[in-house]
């Protein structure tokens, strides 16, 4: 951006010009990184959307990169000045080229140091490091020799260097997924070949066409400086536009009028609060006020205080919710090695959506959790089902080489960067999608299903809910939480600071979910739909935070995973109050059908809860399958444990194929701290006999193969579902 005459300038001039070149180089990298990690993600996965929080974080990143470029470029400029004026090392250089190359070199060095500092050595890291060193050597050579710089064309240009580094990183990422791609039938080799060819073409064009362009550009000062100024303008536009988009107000429903075609037949709305354990809801007596809107809704509803999930993970529990059947009957559960991540819902299991669709209902769904995808069969019967996917700021494992990871840690000293880890759609975006779907396709009567995931790992509620409860530690990142939870599985106690952080953010996520439910019920009231809509609020399972050295979910049948929320607002508020009898999520589907006058499928194992009090007392069951989530050490040799629970109120039997046999009185000991299996009497053996009798009624489990695309597996892995 300057001419060779600058050699006579002061050191301050070198710092100033170096800072400008640094801003250019790092802004070019910021734009290239945005394109590779965001725009390309959107092109490859057209269903992904940019959200307000994504734009806000993009703006912060661009500004952070520009600031880093100014500082590092200024230092590099000072070094160039010293080398030119005090030594003969840059004797044959062009000062403008030397300043540009020095700024570009700061990007390459930072990129290389980031790779060196990685805690693990992913496949392809060593050749990637060698490539970065070679790029640095080329840039250094171009700094020293004006003639070599001309021969290299535009190879040392910030745009080219950033694009090549990120392109090679993408290629290494494809190499890492090669084995997974072969397993899942993905054409990773094809993508790797196309990417490699593209990188080689870019390098060749930057050299051979770049020689001609550089000679042309140097004849005109405006043309020489134009690309640099264009980079800064683009960076400013990206940052400014992202700030505007990030601060946009949420677009709510278009008008408060009742939906056209409103009928006398009751609408049905099922809301699932993913990963919300009942004992963390103030509705159920939790000391933190996490659910004020649920408390308000409870006045019009029946609240079930002892609801039990039929399983401890999303796929299986939702399948039971939709079919009224236990897991072994509906078939949607983990079955390694053929269906490690989960089996498809059995064809013979009729879903609630299928039944209501056949009765003339408009069936609609919006979910945040990827386990609700069509691959698993849970969308059967839905005429419109959306899983709005956000473009991630940080991906799962595939973003390990990006500079935004260490940049995020630096930024955390100034701003809260927790949202960088978000890989699922936030509750307010889920609501907007649901409003749109109902308004455009929700002729009455409608059955709408919604799944919120804001209380799920990695526990990142948006402001102000992230600080609603004390305990947040801004210095803890997802990797730190992963490490702490892995230690808990090995028998270590979660540090008090980590534990309080987890609970504060988890509870904040519940409170945020509760707020979205409040907005949703207000929306129904504005459209005169509330009174005539049957509303079910439930959670699919809970979460463990170190109890019994367990974390997350999908690995036990203890109460912290099985005791869930359940409340039903019946049409016209025909029933209200509190029910303390044990019930199960398998009761939801038959209760809905019976309440709106639709015959209940004879295959359903659940009960109509409106008639439950008049029926004989029953036992309830739950199952946990060996999904690829953190399991305790005793399950490692088994590839994960299969566990079962029998609830014969108030006693509960817990068993597993690892030899576990425990009995608890969950009425007096809800945290299951006192094992009664060794107590006198026949209670434990009687419970075991009941459980064995139930197991004997299970249908055969045919083997089933399920293939997911690599993107689905990566997303599930990032959410703790895949080890």
Any domain includes 716: no
* Of 10-24, 72-86, 217-231, 318-332, highest mean pLDDT: 318-332
> 515 and 371 in one domain?
yes
Q: Are residues 242 and 287 in the same domain?
A: no
**How does pLDDT run across 293-334, given as a tens digit for each residue?**
999 999 999 999 999 999 999 999 999 999 999 999 999 999
Domain total for the chain?
2
Picking from 326, 274, 254, 225, the residue whose alpha carbon sits closest to that of residue 584 is 326
Same domain, 506 and 472: yes
Please provide the average confidence, as pLDDT, over all residues in the chain: 87
Q: Is the pLDDT of residue 122 over 80?
A: no
Pair 210, 328 in one domain: no
Cα separation of 450 and 272, whole Å? 6
Q: Higher-confidence residue: 619 or 224? A: 619
Q: List b or e across 134-152, with b for residues whose CB sees 16 or more CB atoms inside 10 angstroms.
A: ebbebbeebbbbbebbbeb
Cβ pair 721, 554 in contact under 8 A: yes
Picking from 579, 597, 615, the residue at the C-terminal end of a domain is 615
Give the Cα separation of 50 and 246 in Å (integer).
10
Q: For residue 94, what are the CA distances in angstroms to 22, 139, 211, 218, 222?
A: 17, 13, 15, 12, 18
Taking alpha carbons only, the member of 455, 657, 681 closest to residue 557 is 657
8 A C-beta contact, residue 583 and residue 304: yes
- 692 pLDDT more than 90: yes
* Residue 418 forms part of a structural domain: no
Residue ending a domain, choose from 215, 246, 277: 246
In a domain, 351, yes or no: yes
- Residue 679's pLDDT is 82
Does any domain span residue 408? no
Co-location of 328 and 236 in the same domain: no
Q: Is the pLDDT of residue 30 over 60?
A: yes
Q: At a CB cut-off of 8 Å and minimum separation 6, what does 261 contact?
A: 443, 444
Greater model confidence, 685 or 226:
685
Residue 227, pLDDT above cutoff 80 = no
Instruction: Please check whether residues 219 and 275 belong to one and the same domain.
Output: no
pLDDT band, residue 635 (cuts 50/70/90)? confident
More confident residue, 274 or 709: 274
What does the pLDDT average to over 710-717?
Answer: 57
pLDDT tens readout for residues 279-299: 999 999 999 999 999 999 999
Tell me the whole-structure pTM to 2 decimals.
0.89
Inform me whether the pLDDT recorded for 106 exceeds 50: yes
pLDDT tens for 52-88 read 888 999 999 999 999 999 999 999 999 988 888 778 7
Within-domain flag for 240: yes
> Which residue range forms the structural domain that includes residue 542?
267-388+425-615
Task: Indicate whether 197 pLDDT > 50.
Answer: yes
Looking at the domain assignment, is residue 72 inside a domain?
Answer: yes
Kindly state whether residues 192 and 73 are assigned to the same domain: yes
**Do 544 and 490 sit in the same domain of this protein?**
yes
Contact 142, 101 (CB under 8 A): yes
Please state whether the peptide bond connecting residue 458 to the residue before it is cis, i.e. omega within 30 degrees of 0: yes
Give phi and psi for 663, each to the nearest 5. Answer: -130, 135
403 part of a folded domain: no
Query: Are 425 and 389 in contact, with CB atoms under 8 Å apart?
Result: yes
Sequence-separated (6 or more) residues with CB below 8 Å from residue 584: 307, 308, 309, 310, 320, 606, 620
Same domain for 232 and 303? no
CATH number of domain containing 296: 3.40.720.10
Order of all β-strands in the sheet with 643-648: 620-624, 643-648, 651-656, 661-665
Task: Tell me how crowded residue 379 is: count the other CB atoms within 10 A of its CB.
Answer: 23
Looking at the structure, do residues 238 and 284 belong to the same domain, yes or no?
A: no
Spatial distance between the Cα atoms of 39 and 53, rounded to a whole number of angstroms? 16
Check whether residue 160 and residue 286 sit in a common domain: no
Distance from C-alpha of 152 to C-alpha of 206, rounded to nearest angstrom: 8
Inside any domain, residue 363: yes
Characterize the bridge pairing of strands 651-656 and 661-665: antiparallel
pLDDT tops 50 at residue 6: no
Q: Is residue 182's pLDDT more than 70?
A: no
Backbone phi, psi, residue 471, to 5°: 125, -10
Q: What angle do CA 163, 168, 174 make, to 5 degrees?
A: 130
Output the pLDDT for position 499.
95
Examine the fold and report which residue of 615, 647, 669 is the final residue of a domain before the chain moves on: 615
Q: Are both 198 and 332 inside the same structural domain? A: no
pLDDT band at residue 722, thresholds of 50, 70 and 90?
low
What percentage of the chain carries pLDDT values higher than 90? 56
Round to whole Å and give the CA distance between 505 and 688: 39
């Amino acid at each position: 951006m300057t001419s060779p005459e600058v050699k006579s300038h002061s050191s301050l001039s070198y710092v100033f010009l170096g800072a400008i070149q640094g801003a250019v180089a790092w802004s070019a990298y910021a734009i290239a990184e945005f394109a590779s990690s965001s725009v390309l993600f959107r092109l490859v996965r057209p269903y992904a959307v940019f959200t307000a929080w994504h734009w806000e974080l993009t703006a912060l990143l661009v500004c952070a990169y520009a600031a880093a470029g100014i500082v590092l470029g200024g230092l590099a400029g000072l070094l160039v000045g010293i080398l030119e004026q005090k030594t003969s090392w840059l004797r044959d250089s062009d000062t403008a080229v030397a300043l540009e190359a020095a700024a570009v070199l700061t990007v390459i060095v930072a990129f290389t140091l980031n790779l060196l500092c990685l805690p693990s050595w992913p496949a392809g890291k060593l050749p990637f490091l060698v490539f970065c060193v070679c790029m640095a050597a080329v840039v250094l050579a171009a700094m020293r020799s004006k003639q070599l710089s001309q021969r290299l064309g535009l190879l040392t240009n910030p745009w080219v260097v950033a694009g090549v580094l990120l392109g090679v990183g993408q290629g290494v990422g494809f190499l890492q997924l090669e084995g997974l791609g072969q397993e899942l039938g993905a054409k990773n080799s094809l993508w790797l070949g196309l990417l490699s060819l593209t990188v080689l073409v870019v390098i060749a064009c930057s050299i051979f066409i770049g020689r001609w362009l550089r000679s042309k550009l140097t004849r005109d000062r405006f043309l020489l400086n134009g690309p640099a100024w264009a980079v800064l303008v683009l960076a400013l536009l990206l940052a400014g536009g992202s700030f505007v988009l990030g601060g946009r107000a949420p677009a709510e429903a278009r008008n408060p009028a009742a939906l056209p075609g409103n009928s006398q037949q009751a609408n049905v709305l099922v809301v699932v609060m993913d990963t919300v354990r009942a004992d963390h809801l103030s509705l159920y007596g939790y000391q933190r006020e996490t659910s004020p809107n649920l408390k308000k809704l409870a006045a019009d509803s029946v609240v079930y205080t002892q609801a039990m999930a039929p399983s401890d993970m999303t796929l299986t529990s939702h399948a039971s919710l939709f079919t009224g059947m236990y897991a072994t009957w509906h078939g949607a559960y983990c079955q390694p090695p053929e269906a490690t991540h989960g089996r498809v819902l059995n064809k013979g299991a009729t879903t609630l959506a299928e039944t209501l669709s056949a009765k003339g209902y408009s069936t609609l769904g919006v979910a945040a959790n990827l386990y609700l995808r069509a691959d698993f069969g849970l969308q059967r019967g839905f005429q419109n089902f959306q899983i709005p996917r956000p473009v991630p700021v940080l991906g799962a494992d595939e973003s390990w080489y990006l500079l935004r990871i260490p940049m995020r840690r630096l930024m955390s000293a100034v701003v809260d960067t927790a949202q960088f880890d978000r890989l699922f759609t936030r509750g307010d975006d889920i609501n907007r999608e649901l409003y749109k779907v109902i308004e455009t396709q929700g002729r009455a009567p409608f059955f709408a299903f919604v799944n919120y995931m804001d209380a799920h790992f990695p526990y990142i509620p948006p402001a102000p809910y992230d600080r609603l409860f004390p305990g947040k530690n801004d210095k803890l990142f997802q990797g730190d939480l992963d490490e702490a939870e892995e230690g808990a599985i090995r028998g270590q106690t979660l540090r008090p600071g980590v534990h309080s952080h987890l609970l504060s953010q988890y509870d904040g996520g519940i409170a945020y979910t509760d707020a979205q439910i409040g907005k949703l019920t207000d929306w129904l009231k504005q459209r005169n739909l509330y009174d005539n809509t049957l509303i079910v609020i439930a959670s699919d399972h809970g979460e463990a935070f170190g109890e019994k050295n367990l974390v997350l979910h999908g690995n036990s049948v203890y109460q912290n995973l099985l005791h869930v929320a359940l409340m039903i607002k019946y049409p016209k508020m025909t029933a209200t109050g509190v029910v303390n009898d044990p019930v199960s999520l398998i009761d939801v589907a038959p209760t809905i059908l019976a309440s709106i006058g639709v015959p209940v499928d004879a295959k359903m194992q659940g009960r109509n809860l409106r008639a439950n009090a008049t029926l004989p007392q029953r036992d309830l069951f739950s199952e946990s399958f060996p999904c690829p989530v953190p399991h305790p050490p005793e399950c490692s040799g088994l590839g994960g444990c299969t566990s079962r629970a029998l609830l014969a109120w108030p006693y509960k039997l817990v068993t597993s194929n690892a030899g576990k046999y425990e009995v608890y009185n969950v009425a007096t000991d809800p945290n299951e701290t006192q094992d009664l299996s060794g107590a006198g009497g026949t209670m434990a053996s009687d419970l075991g006999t009941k459980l064995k009798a139930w197991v004997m009624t299970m249908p055969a489990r045919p083997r089933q193969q399920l293939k997911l695309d690599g993107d689905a597996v990566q997303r599930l892995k990032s959410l703790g579902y895949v080890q």
